[in-house]
Amino acid sequence: MKRVKLIIHEPLINKAIGSELNLLLNDKANLIDAISEVDKMICNKGEFPVPHYQSLLHMIYNPVQNRFYKQAAVTAYDESGQLLNVRDDPKKTLPEGVTVIVIPAGGCISEWEEAIDYTEFLKAI
């Protein structure tokens, strides 16, 4: 098992579960696995709090194309502070002690993509 810190900047989600989450994940876990764990936590609290979406993963990730939406800001760094490129390979195994910052609607966005239909999302996942 490994430790992963996930920091989420989304007020409606932060009200439900907080903004900084320390997760204990399988050694082979990737960012999609980490976000899915967060979605389980949110689901245990009730409905997903952001209108028009069913989960954080649905909000920021297109599983058909295996990529994050343009408006989603995703960055990560390891324990030494070295930046890791998790955006280009969402399914890459995360290292122990990584910190990931997710901003579902990042600032300075010039392009906005609509999330795929939730039924299509579930089929692709």
Please report the pLDDT score of residue 9 as a whole number.
Answer: 96
- For residues 98 and 74, the answer to whether their CB atoms sit within 8 Å is no
Please report the pLDDT score of residue 110 as a whole number.
Answer: 65
- For residues 99 and 75, the answer to whether their CB atoms sit within 8 Å is no
Low pLDDT (below 50) residues in the chain: none
Q: Of 113, 85, 10, which Cα lies nearest the Cα of 55?
A: 10
User: What are 35-48's pLDDT values in tens digits?
Assistant: 999 999 999 999 99
Please report the pLDDT score of residue 54 as a whole number.
Answer: 95
DSSP 115: P
> Can you give 5-65 as a three-state secondary structure string?
EEEECCHHHHHHHCCEEEEEECCCCEHHHHHHHHHHHHHHHCCCCCCCCCCHHHHHEECCC
pTM: 0.89
Quick one: how far is CA 95 from the chain centroid? 16
Single-letter amino acid code for the residue at 77 = Y
Please report the pLDDT score of residue 86 as a whole number.
Answer: 93
